[in-house]
Amino acid sequence: MAETKANKGSVIGSLKKLRLERICRWRDEASSSEPEDECIKRLGIHFAGLAGRGLDFDIPQRYRPWNLSDFSDAAVERSIDFLRGDATTLYLHGDIGTGKTSLAAAILYAWRWSGGACNLECPRDCGARRSEYGRFLPAYQAAAILRNLDTCQTAMTDWAGCLMLVLDDIGANRATPHVQEQLLFLLQERYDRCKKTIVTSNLDLNALAVALGERAASRLQEGILIELTGGDRRGRTVT
């Protein structure tokens, strides 16, 4: 049975509520003297202008049309929990073509749109091309970069420090011992620094433990897990 898509209006409403929660939290943490309603108004105007500022930067062209409302209520609910901060890691797994990469792209976009990379000091002309706005990193690209010792360290520093990282399709290809070690270090570093990390894979956590080691699987198991099921979504038209 096909899963019912989430209501687009309710998804947008949830993300707007998340924006408001963030504004109030930032204001309280900064001990800002700016009146709450003025703070909300100022950042609300800022957020309203974000849509045209490259929020899909770094997301592969094929996955840019997807948004959270294209997925089931259950998947959206858990995704919103992750965006709200209930966990710092999110593991998406399922068979080939069930929508893992599409959902990861939609979550990254929603995080940017809802102000995940902003704060009270965020300039009004900011855009998603800033490094703070996260990275979408296919595992095969990561492996190619990590195999090159000239690019490995710089890349690891960037990936470990960005506010959100999507590591897509991990475990799809056999990694060399060096690449496996670096990926494990990356997951550990982000886990220790409480950085938001989304990992997608065809493997469940037991199989991932065999491919990358039990420590990697353990770090991911502590976060939010979403299993995507159903037939191959590829070839469907997004409406």
Confidence of residue 106 (pLDDT cuts 50, 70, 90): very high
pLDDT at 132 over 70: no
Q: Which CATH class is domain 8-228?
A: alpha beta
C-alpha of 46 from chain center: 22
Instruction: Tell me which DSSP letter residue 193 carries.
Output: T
* Interatomic CA distance for residues 204 and 136, integer angstroms: 21
Structure tokens at 144: 């190619």
- Give the pLDDT mean for 134-155: 88
More confident residue, 9 or 234: 9
Structure tokens at 14: 């949830």
Q: What is the pLDDT of residue 236?
A: 46
Confidence of residue 107 (pLDDT cuts 50, 70, 90): very high
Q: Is 87 exposed, middle or buried (0-12, 13-18, 19+ CB in 10 A)?
A: middle
Query: Which runs of consecutive H residues, i.e. helices, occur in the chain?
Result: 8-30, 36-48, 73-84, 100-113, 139-147, 149-161, 177-192, 205-212, 214-221
- Contact 208/196 with Cβ under 8 angstroms? no
DSSP string, 57-102: TTS-GGGTT--GGGSBHHHHHHHHHHHHTS-SEEEEEESTTSSHHH
pLDDT at 143 over 80: yes
* Interatomic CA distance for residues 48 and 109, integer angstroms: 14
pLDDT at 235 over 60: no
- Tens of pLDDT, residue by residue over 30-76, are 898 999 999 989 888 888 777 667 788 889 999 988 999 999 999 99
| Average pLDDT taken over every residue of the chain | 85
Q: What is the pLDDT of residue 102?
A: 95
Q: Where are the domains of the chain?
A: 8-228
Q: What is the pLDDT of residue 150?
A: 83
- Tens of pLDDT, residue by residue over 146-189, are 888 788 888 899 899 888 999 999 887 777 788 888 888 899 99
